Amino acid sequence: MNKRTQRALPALLGLSSLGLSSLGLSSLGLAPGAAMAEAQPQPLDIYYIDVEGGQSTLFVAPGGESVLVDTGFPGSRDAGRIMEAVHAAGLKQIDYLLITHYHGDHIGGYQELSKLIPIRHLVDHGPTVQPEQNIASKQQWDADIQKSPHIVAKVGDKLPVKGLDWTIVSSAGKTLEANMAGAPGAGRRNPYCADYKPKQIDVDMENSQSVGSVISYGKFRTVDLGDLLWNWEAKLACPVNRIGTVDVFLTTHHGMSWSGVPALVYALQPRVVVMNTGTRKGGQVETFQMLESSPGLENLWQLHWAVNGGLEHNVPGVFIANLETAAITASVIANPPPPPVMGTRPPDIGNPDHSPAWWIKVSALPDGSFTVTNARNGFSKTYRHR
């Protein structure tokens, strides 16, 4: 029995406590499953797993199918953290593993994870544009796509996850050129494009290949663009917003300023942003400032307190899943890090492991309402549908 079946039982008990059981479900003309589904729709659960400045996000669809987006860094740490979320969700397999791109902070944990749980379908953008970055997990991926069901995601494709509308909006350097059908705000001319300026970024171009997804469950919408770079994000928004508005936005590229173009984020009008920072990776001041002016944003939630953001820009601790030690926090406040230099790789300043590691969980319902929970302190907040 998985967790979803367990959650369905109280619904049955609720029916009998209302005295409906004595009527008999058949006399109401309802199959038992239909009565339960109408009484309480199952949520879409999203676990933003702490991989300290990489990405790993687990989607559990209302029907019980699962999609894992990325696997964090190499080694057993992040694979273990993914398995904690897998167990919490009651999963016995991962139905789709979508690798946004082949950098080590996204595909790194694949080799270890594949030993721990069956993975049914492998999804990627096709061949890498940085073959020199050929880590062990990528080598294993190349071998496994020869023998497992393999999907090369193309822009406009749908990932066939039961209960969700999962649309690919970027892949292999291409971006959606049509408006998303039926999406609120899609196809509108975007006034924020007036301030758009491209950035010259010509390193780590595998980022620009990222598989980006828009995921809908009824009226609830969220977007995950991997590490899609600034100029490619803008193609989704200028001159016309192709995606429309969303409820939850995962910061592109860990809140680094190579991504996070205001013309896109402001047009998406997210109510909630989750920033997948590590302590010392991502969470740059420019990105915080962009979000602080984002129209309609109700809360920013962070996977980590971000050294780069300092005292001024990190959100109140209740919204942060993983905190830094008091000594490091104090030293950073006294000696803020220098701003990053655009177009160069950030210095490898190390990311101390945090244990235990806490996730941020979103549970969404088809009416568009959703609840965000910080696993560290149990704080949760419900956002009613607009």
Choose one: 100-108, 307-315, 330-338, 373-381; the region binding Zn ion (CB under 5 A). Answer: 100-108
Place of tokens 């080598």: 139
Work out whether 70 is an interface residue with Zn ion (CB under 5 A): no
Residue 85 CB, shortest distance to Zn ion, in Å, is 19
In one letter, which amino acid is 181?
A: A
Nearer to Zn ion, 112 or 227 (CB): 227
376 sits in the region (left: phi over 0; alpha: psi -120 to 50; else beta) called alpha
Work out whether 50 is an interface residue with Zn ion (CB under 5 A): no
Residue 72 CB, shortest distance to Zn ion, in Å, is 10
Distance, CA of 85 to CA of 372 (rounded, Å): 15
Nearer to Zn ion, 42 or 302 (CB): 302
Q: Would you give the DSSP letter of residue 103?
A: S
Nearer to Zn ion, 105 or 286 (CB): 105
Distance, CA of 352 to CA of 3 (rounded, Å): 33
Residue 282 CB, shortest distance to Zn ion, in Å, is 8
In one letter, which amino acid is 309?
A: G
Distance, CA of 50 to CA of 278 (rounded, Å): 8
Nearer to Zn ion, 105 or 247 (CB): 105
Residue 239 CB, shortest distance to Zn ion, in Å, is 28
Q: Residue 64: CB partners within 8 Å, gap ≥ 6?
A: 2, 4, 162
Work out whether 105 is an interface residue with Zn ion (CB under 5 A): yes
Distances (CA, A) of 217 to 58, 160, 187, 368: 15, 13, 20, 8
Distance, CA of 132 to CA of 110 (rounded, Å): 18
Q: Which of residues 199-258 bind Zn ion (CB under 5 A)?
A: 227
Nearer to Zn ion, 256 or 285 (CB): 256
Residue 70 CB, shortest distance to Zn ion, in Å, is 8
Distance, CA of 56 to CA of 276 (rounded, Å): 9
Nearer to Zn ion, 58 or 238 (CB): 58
Residue 12 CB, shortest distance to Zn ion, in Å, is 44
Please report, as ranges, the residues that interact with Zn ion according to CB under 5 A: 105, 227
